[in-house]
Amino acid sequence: MALDEPKETDTEYDIDGYKYIVDKEFMEKVQPIKVDFVDIGFRLSCAVDFSAGSSCSGCGSAGTCG
Q: Which residue has the higher pLDDT, 21 or 51?
A: 21
> Cα(63)–Cα(7) distance, rounded to whole angstroms?
24
Cis peptide before 6 (omega within 30 of 0): no
**Structural domain of residue 18, as residue ranges?**
1-66
pLDDT in tens, 16-44: 888 889 999 988 988 888 888 888 887 87
**Residue 9: is its pLDDT beyond 90?**
yes
Give the count of beta carbons closer than 10 Å to the beta carbon of residue 45. 14
8 pLDDT more than 90: yes
What SS3 state is found at 60?
coil
Task: Provide the domain count of the chain.
Answer: 1
